[in-house]
A and B are shown apart, each in its own frame.
Chain A
Amino acid sequence: MNFDPRYSGRNFSSVGTRPIRPDGVDKVTGRARYGADFNMAGQLVGRVLRSPHAHAIIRKIDTSKAEKLAGVKAVITAKDLPDLTDGDAGMYDILDNCMARAKALYDGHAVAAVAAVDARTARQALKLIAVDYEVLPHVTDVDEAMKHTAPLINDTIFTEGLEEKPVKPSNVTKRSQFGHGDVHQGFGHADFIVERSFKTEQTHQGYIEPHACVASVSSDGTADLWVCTQGHFVYRQHCAQLLGMEASKLRVTSSEIGGGFGGKTHVWAEPVALALSRKAGRPVKLVMTRDEVFRASGPTSATSIDVKIGARKDGTITAAEATLRYTSGPYAGTWAEIGAMTAFACYKLENVKTVGYEVLVNRPKTAAYRAPSAPMAAFAVESAVDELAKEVGIDPVEFRIRNAAQEGTRSSYGPVYGPIGIGPTLEAAKNHPHMKAPLKENQGRGMACGFWFNFGGQTCTDLNIGMDGSVSLAVGTVDVGGSRASLSLVAAEELGIDYSQVKAIVADTSSLGYNDMTDGSRGTFSSSMATISAARNAIKILRERAAQMWDISVDDVAWEQGHAVAKGDNHGNLGKLSLKEIAARSGTTGGPIAGHSELVADGAGVSFATHICDIEVDPETGFTKVIRYTVVQDAGKAVHPTYVEGQYQGGAAQGIGWALNEEYIYGKDGRLQNAGFLDYRIPVCSDLPMIDTQILEIPNPNHPYGVRGVGETSIVPPLAAIANAVSNAAGVRMTHIPMSPPRILAAIEAEREG
């Protein structure tokens, strides 16, 4: 990579404007193609048989009757997906999650699949598959799963990270620890100490579009996969490895995406669809039902967290400690570790210690959900911080400002911070009119901070200039939040042309080099860096072509505002050449003009946000209404401010749902009781006020335009901000998310009864 990513400071023409999104018309007219909209001639319908048991040994699967049913073209079990993972434990877990092998590990775990000529036949075939289960005791609660008496989910797991090697297997796969200083000593200096335990229930990302794909495996071993995903290159790698294919022989095309939020970073049905197609010799379409999405695809962790924070009378925190227990489903994860790293990241602390425990339970395999693990940790910490501020007698915003991390602060997860934006978001919140607006009876105001790391990653981009001067931009990061618009703005900015001259597409895996997926808030951060690099490479060629057309040295040609300009006293009489004029002559000056870039975008820069919200609680029913909500967040540089605001609003909306209503409810039998949007309540427009946003722009020193990722941080503060608001409105500290009406009512009644 020969590209300098450092922030240069510049005035912008296109970046920072708000043009209409290029995919908008297709989406509002229904022309846009999502995962389930793709069809092929001769396509079969795939359906998956799922375990009704939370934990069971699979003694035997008899598929003979299903195979004999007319119209059934393939039936597969784990035998059709042999273990080719070569000792890669993470990939083995993915394989086992796609199709259970020795045991079914949760209600909804796939155990077999069929491909048939139509959906009716496929459903009939599933009923003809006989699975002989030996039902085992199960555990779904995080605290119960940690007890030594809990049913063991995997008897080969011995807890990692303990000082002494354990001699017995456990549902705790790993212990991690972060911090510095001496918390014991720090608490000794505290005048006030708050110590509380919190719980958060498991939620789903709740994307409206279910997982969907069409797989077509040819008899020559090549294959195509059309799929709704956040990362088609990663899906290609995983599917190819699981099916024993060469990656280059599997072409994956990403569809439009109806929401992902981390849940579409993971293969679920895709290897199954490919295995079905390989066996049937025909294309197979596999679309999950909503019930399947809930039961078998990526929820976030359920958690149990203890927090202890101490402060002096002057409001200085002297010590902070947290123990975080996160479920990871039935497979090992690192979710508590992330929670332990992010929990106190907003604060300047001399003494801090966090310990994380990864806990196996009989629930679906945990997947990333927007700033994964951070919202739950922030809920616990920010609730305790709010309570501590009250005990000390300092305004909660002022208390946070007094203790906020700043440049030079040693972060709670280890390194010393460079320039960061927590202070400015708190100051902006303090000065926001929202903080001074009057409240009515039964209303409460809450605020909270949030932190997220943000990531970059491998990125590859092509920029092609047509002979008419229009520009095609091919990127490999899936557009989950309007990145085709933002990347077109970046290309237009760099080339000095109008936004309307640029058309961005997401290229398939055979048309472009590898790209990491769109996660970690990296889509616009990484691909804009690659787009700038590709555009600069194209400008180099444009200057060379202009030099040819003028018959002068390329060293005398500069690129200014979309034109080649001849520099120097000898060329004073030469007029400017536009990109369009140079492109028109490209056929006789060396052929097509293009810019390519492959790079690793690193140095994404950590991100902070502060949220304020007002809630009204009905003390008779526990019903809540969000009255007002404000998001303040640092974007570095908002390339397309409307989409940045959309990310802020979207994160807040999801956080509101998580805080107030959403939860997985399991019965005593270990079966999910509410696998549908009627019983799993996400907020709709009528539940929400207009979410106000304030974009701060503190440039990221590691991006040419100062861009930071914005997609995830906005879901970190809401659980805590809302909990603080509800607690203030109801007059009782809420410690269990979601704060559904029954839970609020119970807390109010318990407080009344003393």
Chain B
Amino acid sequence: MVEVTLWGALGQVAGGKSKVEVEAKDIRELFRKLAEQYPGIEPWIDRGIAVAIDGTIYRDTWSKELPPGAEIFLLPRLAGG
């Protein structure tokens, strides 16, 4: 079980929660479980969500493992120049 922190707008989609607990071993499973628990999140996942694991931001490596006790933080997927 990992604790996942959602940024403001995503929290609104998840029923106003800023933190949720999810049983997931990697980012892919995290997104799948989140979409199951909170269907409103799915379009956001399709548009792109970045996952910060202990401060390092991952945008595309959905196979990245979520270590037990790690800080998991969801962020908007941003663009660069």
Q: Which residues of A contact B (CB under 8 A)?
A: 160-161, 163, 174, 176-178, 205, 261-263, 265, 334, 337-338, 341, 368-372, 411, 413-418, 452-458, 519-522, 600, 602-606, 702, 712
Q: Among residues 30 to 81 in chain B, which have CB atoms less than 8 Å away from a CB atom of chain A?
A: 52, 54-61, 64, 71, 73, 75-76, 78-81
Given contacts A161-B8, A417-B55, contact A458 B75 (CB under 8 A): no
A452 to B8, CA, bound (A): 21
CA distance A370 to B81 in the complex (A): 4
Q: Which residues of A contact B54 (CB under 8 A)?
A: 415-416, 418
Q: Which residue of A lies closest to B72 (CB)?
A: A415
Contact between chains at A341 and B71 (CB < 8 Å): no
What are some 14 contacts across the A-B interface (CB < 8 A)? A205-B81, A334-B76, A337-B76, A369-B81, A372-B79, A372-B81, A413-B75, A414-B5, A415-B75, A418-B55, A418-B56, A453-B57, A455-B80, A602-B64
Q: Which 5 A-B pairs have the closest CB atoms?
A: A520-B80, A262-B81, A368-B81, A415-B52, A415-B73
Give the contacting residue for B78; candidates A265, A334, A370; CB below 8 A: A334
Question: Closest CB-CB distance, A164 to chain B, in whole Å?
Answer: 11
User: In the complex, which residues of chain B have a beta carbon less than 8 angstroms from the beta carbon of A702?
Assistant: 56
Q: Is the CB of A457 within 8 A of B75?
A: no
Q: From B5, B71, B80, name the one whose CB has the most chain A CB atoms within 10 angstroms.
A: B80
Q: Mark B1-26, 1 if CB is under 8 A from A, else 0.
A: 00001011100100000000000000
B55 neighbours in A (Cβ, 8 Å): 411, 415-418
Contacts of B7 in A (CB 8 A): 176, 178, 414
Expressed in whole angstroms, the minimum distance between the Cβ of A132 and any Cβ of chain B is: 37
Q: Which residue of B12, B60, B78 has the most chain A CB atoms within 10 A of its CB atom? A: B78
In the complex the two chains form, is A602's CB within 8 Å of B59's CB?
yes
- Are B61 and A602 neighbours in the complex by a CB distance under 8 Å? yes
Closest to A5 in B: B61
> Which size bracket describes the interface of B in this complex?
20 to 34
Q: How far is the CB of B31 from chain A (nearest CB, A)?
A: 15
Residues of A with C-beta under 8 A to B52: 414-415
CA separation between A163 and B79, bound complex, in Å?
26
Which chain B residues lie closer than 8 Å to A604 at the CB level?
Answer: 57
* Other A-B pairs beyond A163-B12, A415-B52, A415-B73, 14, CB < 8 Å: A177-B9, A337-B78, A338-B79, A371-B81, A372-B81, A414-B7, A414-B73, A414-B75, A453-B78, A454-B80, A458-B60, A522-B80, A602-B61, A603-B61
Q: Which residues of A sit under 8 angstroms from B73, Cβ to Cβ?
A: 414-415
Interface centre among B54, B60, B61, B79 (most CB of A within 10 A): B79
Question: How far apart are the CA atoms of A233 and B6 in the complex, in Å?
Answer: 32
8 Å CB contact of A161 from B5, B12, B57, B80: B12
Q: Are A372 and B80 in contact (CB under 8 A)?
A: yes
Chain A residue numbers with a CB within 8 Å of B59 are 455-457, 602
- B residues in contact with A520, CB < 8 Å: 78-81
A415-B55, A418-B56, A702-B56 as given contacts; A600 in contact with B61, CB under 8 Å: yes
Cross-interface CB contact of B60 among A161, A413, A600, cutoff 8 Å: A600
Chain A contacts for B75, CB-based, 8 A: 341, 413-415
- Residues in B neighbouring A261, C-beta threshold 8 A: 81
State the Cβ distance, B17 to closest chain A Cβ, in Å: 14
- How far does the alpha carbon of A210 sit from the alpha carbon of B72 in the complex, in Å? 43
Report chain B residues within 8 Å CB of A413. 75
